[in-house]
Structure 1
């Protein structure tokens, strides 16, 4: 699959990031790299770099096989001029000495992403460990001559009113990563209230980066004990980028994620060698997300340059689920928040000039007449008929210029509760 041509102003990465550059990274689940060779890392990093991603954030769950895989990642990244930094997943148990050791072993790498000359270090969660735990880690690293800019995702800090509490509670915190990239169990769009509150608290009190999470989706259904939910994500991949560009303007955008297959927000290719467990394959296999990278490339360029890139090759990226939300499936577990997503096909058009975006599936039809140049959204509701497939067209002056069918049928029955979308492309 080729990507559409952007304006030449897009920056696809370099050996050194300019101090004034806007940085884009992607969250990478290192625990999914068990079977990785250096060629797997090279493929992922090259693919990411080619759309403007500057680096991966290595979500690290344990000091086990992941340590060797991270060693390989840094070796490959150094050769590619790609950046990496570590994010310790504190939903698992960690000893401070292991965090210090793993960080120190890569601190001098040319691939290590730094902030103001300091090694950038992040987390998923970890606030329960307390400020002294993180201050101690920073002190231990400082004793080895390693200065750290600590920008964690302390996930209980979501309410905007708690931003000042974060600062007063954690002297160890230099920056902040807002993990929360989806609505919070509601049927309304995500706002930037959390982003702006924590960004302001960091800017006014600390010298680290504000990192904003941007994600295309959120769905998981791997057991019936709470790991089964969906968040309203129908148009998230467009409007969250627009929030980053128009409203927040963060120091770093962190795409969530490159390869977290179980939570359905992967934009990387599905690596067939990755062990997905027993449940996730039921809603991941066959549900390609690669065309979402076309959208990412467009918005990364816009974020970095400050201007919407000129589109020279008309493209529509479309996504849809494989069954209506009210269907009872024979496998999996009923999904929390399933009432919120719309039963529809969503199409994000990237057009060189105004055109009509035509969407059909079964007996339902929708047209977005005079869709503008640049990015716009259109949608069409699921039909009542069983086993239907979308048909997407670009029409200009009454003439069909491009078209494409989906690759997965929308059915009125299902083997697994699946709110993970298939993503296709007209180009």
Structure 2
């Protein structure tokens, strides 16, 4: 839940234990289900082509088809995305622009940037048009976007416009969206976390805006995110309910919504703690974010993503060949998500507190409350037929005090 000031009873560090490699396809076909990840281009200031190639290869190994390049300003980012397109062309990877309209953009700058890369074989297209998205932008009005489409059309470039107009979240507003913006072709629903409430996210918004997007030809882009936490200053401090989000949001997408494109939020937005890419040590994180980002890798989340990406693309839950348990918590409990090859009991101990749950094949989740004792570390076991198959202690202690309120998950691996 978003709060202007965060108070917690414990230091919030997340412990994850993962051991699995799940195959997923990376090749796009005409009717393929597409998975992309939101990439903050402003964090690429120090990037060389090799940095881009490294990120692209890591994403492809996860089953991700492309990056949505969140570009904030027509500054150094223009040169960096040019390098990104070269790297993507060399690796059969897709890119498209997601203009960050919380900043000031001139129509001419948007037209120029799209036109520069429209013919690249790495540019992601949809319904015969270059895919263009946004973060915000509804405040610019329909005429702003219609003029951009016209200018590009005059250059022989058709675009498929699927923005994230974030003020449109209420399902009842779809009619207003369509009547106010005849220029849009599809829609990107940015909201992949509960609406600042202590309840899980529903699919009401997804289904309403999916249907609205399809009435225009689409695509409907559904966001999936593992987390949301930020602690920069008193105006930028919040945490959303995310204990089970990385499981149920994927399953909502696969089983209920069936979107045209899934966009993972994010690959590298470190300050909001939902990055699934590796932390590039050359990226300038500012002064506050390093307090809760440095030393908190999220690479193991990608193993969970592999499982669901494969399921989304093939329509069938993949066979799990190794056992996985993932731990995370912004509440006073440790939540355990398992991916199992066969049924087992997941045993959770921390201090004097014990819990366990029976998990079947595939994904399951359970939790154990924090103990009364200070400075305790979780102990996790996978028990099958009365025998411990795998076990491991967590990597950090849960304590009663902390120097910086930290709800950013620490994700470790056992294999």
TM-score (norm 2): 0.94
| Alignment partner of 1:211 is 2:221 | yes
**The residue matched to 1:411 in structure 2 has which SS?**
coil
| Alignment partner of 1:122 is 2:147 | no
What CA distance in whole angstroms lies between the structure 2 residues aligned with 1:404 and 1:169? 55
What CA distance in whole angstroms lies between the structure 1 residues aligned with 2:157 and 2:381? 55
| Alignment partner of 1:194 is 2:205 | yes
Q: Deviations over 1:207-226 (max 9, x none)?
A: 120000000001111011x2
| Alignment partner of 1:298 is 2:287 | no
User: Paired residue for 1:338?
Assistant: none
Ranges in structure 2 where 5+ consecutive residues have no aligned partner: 1-16
| Alignment partner of 1:353 is 2:342 | yes
How far residue 317 of structure 1 moved from its aligned partner, in angstroms, is 2.1
**The residue matched to 1:349 in structure 2 has which SS?**
strand
User: Paired residue for 1:135?
Assistant: 146
**The residue matched to 1:307 in structure 2 has which SS?**
coil
What CA distance in whole angstroms lies between the structure 1 residues aligned with 2:156 and 2:220? 25
Query: Which of 91, 98, 107 in structure 2 is aligned with 1:96?
Result: 107
What CA distance in whole angstroms lies between the structure 2 residues aligned with 1:289 and 1:380? 22
What CA distance in whole angstroms lies between the structure 1 residues aligned with 2:18 and 2:273? 23
What CA distance in whole angstroms lies between the structure 2 residues aligned with 1:140 and 1:73? 25
User: Paired residue for 1:331?
Assistant: none
**The residue matched to 1:45 in structure 2 has which SS?**
helix
**The residue matched to 1:181 in structure 2 has which SS?**
coil
| Alignment partner of 1:78 is 2:67 | no
Alignment of 1:121-200 (within 5 A): 121-200=132-211
Alignment of 1:272-287 (within 5 A): 272-287=281-296
Is the CA contact (8 Å cut-off) linking 1:350 and 1:376 kept in structure 2?
yes
**The residue matched to 2:399 in structure 1 has which SS?**
coil
What CA distance in whole angstroms lies between the structure 1 residues aligned with 2:282 and 2:392? 30
**The residue matched to 2:397 in structure 1 has which SS?**
coil
Is the CA contact (8 Å cut-off) linking 2:34 and 2:262 kept in structure 1?
yes
Q: Deviations over 1:352-400 (max 9, x none)?
A: 100111111111111113x101111121111122211111111111111
Is the CA contact (8 Å cut-off) linking 2:228 and 2:273 kept in structure 1?
yes
How far residue 21 of structure 1 moved from its aligned partner, in angstroms, is 0.6
How far residue 203 of structure 1 moved from its aligned partner, in angstroms, is 1.4
User: Aligned pair in 2 of structure 1 residues 120, 317: CA closer, same or farther (>3 Å)?
Assistant: same
What CA distance in whole angstroms lies between the structure 1 residues aligned with 2:278 and 2:335? 21
TM-score (norm 1): 0.91
**The residue matched to 2:55 in structure 1 has which SS?**
helix
How far residue 3 of structure 1 moved from its aligned partner, in angstroms, is 6.5
What CA distance in whole angstroms lies between the structure 1 residues aligned with 2:81 and 2:221? 22
Q: Deviations over 1:232-266 (max 9, x none)?
A: 01110000000001110000000000000100100
**The residue matched to 1:86 in structure 2 has which SS?**
strand
User: Paired residue for 1:379?
Assistant: 367
| The 10-residue stretch of structure 1 (416-425 or 51-60) with the greater mean CA deviation from structure 2 | 416-425
Q: Deviations over 1:113-159 (max 9, x none)?
A: 00012100000000000000000011111111110000000000001
Structure with the larger RCO, 1 or 2 (CA within 8 Å, 6+ apart)? 2
Is the CA contact (8 Å cut-off) linking 2:18 and 2:412 kept in structure 1?
no
How far residue 342 of structure 1 moved from its aligned partner, in angstroms, is 2.1
What CA distance in whole angstroms lies between the structure 1 residues aligned with 2:86 and 2:287? 32
Is the CA contact (8 Å cut-off) linking 1:318 and 1:425 kept in structure 2?
no
Q: Deviations over 1:321-355 (max 9, x none)?
A: xxxxxxxxxxxxxxxxxxxx421112111111001
What CA distance in whole angstroms lies between the structure 1 residues aligned with 2:289 and 2:325? 28
How far residue 164 of structure 1 moved from its aligned partner, in angstroms, is 1.1
Is the CA contact (8 Å cut-off) linking 2:19 and 2:413 kept in structure 1?
no
Query: Which of 380, 390, 393 in structure 2 is aligned with 1:392?
Result: 380
Ranges in structure 1 where 5+ consecutive residues have no aligned partner: 321-340
What CA distance in whole angstroms lies between the structure 2 residues aligned with 1:245 and 1:211? 13
**The residue matched to 2:288 in structure 1 has which SS?**
coil
User: Aligned pair in 2 of structure 1 residues 404, 2: CA closer, same or farther (>3 Å)?
Assistant: closer
Alignment of 1:227-246 (within 5 A): 227-246=236-255
Q: Give RMSD over aligned pairs.
A: 1.3
